Amino acid sequence: MTKARWSSLGLSLLVIVILVIWMATGEVKEAREQAPEESTAAETSPTHVQVRALAAETYQPMLRLQGQLEPWQSVDVGARVAGTVEQLHVALGDRIEAGQPLLTLSTDGRDSVVTQRRARVRKLAADLDAARSLGSRNLAAKTDILGLESDLAAARAELEAAELALSHLEPGAPIAGMINRREVDEGTLVQVGTPLFEIVQVARLKATGHIPQQEVAQVAVGQTVTVTLLDGTELAGQVSFVASAADSSTRTFAVEVDVDNPERHRTAGASATLNIHLPERQAMFVSPAYLALDDAGRPGLKYVNSEDRVVFGRVRLLNVSSEGAWVTGLPDEVRLITRGAGFVSEGDTVVAVDATDGQG
């Protein structure tokens, strides 16, 4: 037997011996179709969050509107008879009282007409007295007496019309206020209806605005209003009217406010901010940074309840500024999460650390 065949035989015998030993020890390893189950991870400890105790307090919210200021009253005075302006008794900007004469028109013979008609009335009155005296003695017919009574009534009506026309020659101010516009000068010829003056009353003003439909239920007649002018001046007012139906194009409700203007600020016709004082309610003042939105996009705050679980409470914003936000909708007392709110979800159990402890 050759040396090569002995070498091949020896290698085969060595392989057979190794296989026998492996099978004898029972260490045949079978492949598994599924991966081994993962071991249960050790439970993590609750997240630490910083909280601050908050309590509701009385707050009076305001509804802010952009409005327009108008004179409390504005009256255009026109000529009631034709004539020529003989004299002006007031000037632009004058403060006047109700009934004060504004100007004088030419009489154009109207005074003579009044004199004539007064004389006719006196004559007819005397004739009627005489006829009645004769009638009491059956010396005058009843029809004559009735005719004189009719003539006297007509003469008195004509006299009244003439006196009224004479009084219109010196028109008086229908309201107290200020002369805001003058349309005539001395020597101007006017006809019936010709504009003479515009008188405005600015000791009181009327502010108008429009309330969004979602806010109108909170506004009622009598509520206090603070009116802020463009220069920062504040005037006191009160709601006097709220529309019962919305404007069909804007879906807003008209509101009117009576505004006191004792110093007669020249602000009629200008814009202003209307701050309507709404009924007081319990609310909390928080930093806007603590506000979050739920899945529906509604604002809310995260706080910790008595069982140390996270609660997301939806809130209503009453007023928001750079300093903070007044909100309502939470319990009267809460432990608000001030740090770590982004790392916990509603329902999580947490370790609440009071902010005053200096821990976080």
Where along the chain do its domains lie?
49-56+281-357, 64-71+201-277, 107-168
* pLDDT (tens place) for every residue of the chain, 360 residues total: 455 454 555 556 655 655 555 555 554 444 444 555 554 444 578 889 999 999 999 999 889 999 999 999 999 999 999 999 999 999 999 999 999 999 999 999 999 999 999 999 999 999 889 888 888 888 778 888 899 899 999 999 999 999 999 999 999 999 999 999 999 999 999 999 999 999 999 999 999 999 999 999 999 999 999 999 999 999 999 999 999 999 999 999 999 999 999 998 888 889 999 999 998 889 999 998 899 888 888 999 999 998 999 999 999 888 888 788 899 999 999 999 999 888 998 999 999 898 775 443
Q: Of 128, 45, 80, 32, whose CA–CA distance to 308 is shortest? A: 45
Q: What is the pTM of this model?
A: 0.64
Fold for 64-71+201-277, please state it. Elongation Factor Tu (Ef-tu); domain 3 (2.40.30)
To the nearest 10°, the Cα dihedral for 342, 343, 347, 352?
-100
Q: Count of CB atoms within 10 A of residue 63's CB?
A: 21
Could you say which of 1.10.1070, 2.60.120, 1.10.287, 1.20.120 is the CATH number of the domain covering 107-168?
1.10.287
- Decide: helix, strand or coil at residue 188: coil
Torsional sign, CA 89, 92, 96, 102: positive
Q: What is 49-56+281-357's CATH number?
A: 2.40.420.20
